[in-house]
Amino acid sequence: MILTVTLNTAVDLTYAVPALVPHSSHRVTEVTERPGGKGVNVARVLSALGHDTVVTGFAGGATGAQLRRLLGTLPHGPADALVPVAGNTRRTLAVVDRSTGDTTQLNEPGPHIGADEWAAFLRTYGDLLPGAEAVALCGSLPPGIHVGAYAELIRLARSAGVPVLLDTGGEPLRRGIAARPDLVKPNADELAKLTGAREPLRATRDARRRGAHSVVASLGADGLLAVTPDGIWRAAPPSAVRGNPTGAGDSAVAGLLSALAEGLGWHDRLTRAVALSTATVLAPAAGEFDRPAYEALLTRVSVEQHAPAA
């Protein structure tokens, strides 16, 4: 079983409009609604790849109930181990401009989590860890959760002997990386804020020196850069694509985590991650991936290994 943690779950709404024009009214031509939050997106992709997956985190209020209903309707979807809270789960809104393919994203902050609710989550997390092959800690922290929460969860996973991937930003990333996760997957902006370096290789190396076993940096259309004990790797799609990027980074995490659970090497991990993230950009709804595109991309992703990591 692969465990994904989403402390700030969401219901993801995607609106499609013919063209997005500021300061004007719009007629929405298509609406999709999906269970969301970074770790939930990761779990949905893992389940679609055939992995036994469990999602935990928080869900509350009417939106939380809707999130759980949506999870329950997914065919062969992830198991629900979400912890109930008093506050209302957030929503996210992606507005897709059909004329350009660009997406505008609006994210609510999430409910306040009390001390008793955090304690209940820790009990659930501790109960799930012994059955996990790997765990992914994903996304922002909702109000009320202490900034070192991911560092705490990493230490618990390491004590249980479970490989752990961290995908977050800001101070939670800074604290979490010092707890020595097996893998960290920041994007370029998160890396720059963490290290102060804009050059991707320098920033990725610096991030690894801060405690992570391996760092895979997401560089958008340029693919992935990985600094690992086995070397430095670059992986990129065969060509740039346009579409809805919502969930593309989460699909990359799912690719990395699924390949790790299957015991695959870095070449195959990065190939799968880039193919999945690119196929997600090509899908019409947030958090989905275009399966025919994914399967075709598996043979077309470029992966190069460079000198061993310092």
Tens digit of pLDDT for each residue in 15-58?
989 999 989 999 999 888 989 999 999 999 999 999 999 999 99
Active site annotation includes 116? no
Of 245, 42, 39, 62, give the one whose Cα is nearest residue 138.
39
0.75 cut: is pTM over it? yes
Q: What integer is the mean pLDDT of 224-234? A: 94
**Phi, then psi, of 241 in degrees rounded to 5:** -125, 155
Question: Among candidates 216, 235, 228, 218, which has minimal Cα distance to 303?
Answer: 235
Q: Which is the catalytic residue, given 222, 250, 268, 290?
A: 250
Residue 80, classed as helix, strand or coil, is strand
Residue 285 pLDDT > 70, yes or no? Answer: no
Say if residues 32 and 286 touch (Cβ distance below 8 Å).
Answer: yes
Q: Tens of pLDDT along 119-167?
A: 999 999 999 999 999 999 999 999 999 999 999 999 999 999 999 999 9
Q: With bands split at pLDDT 50, 70 and 90, how would you rate the model's confidence at 243?
A: confident
What is the rounded average pLDDT for all residues in the chain?
92
Neighbours of 2 (CB within 10 A): 27
Please compute the mean of the pLDDT values over residues 103-131 and round it to a whole number. 95
Provide mean pLDDT across the span 97-101.
85
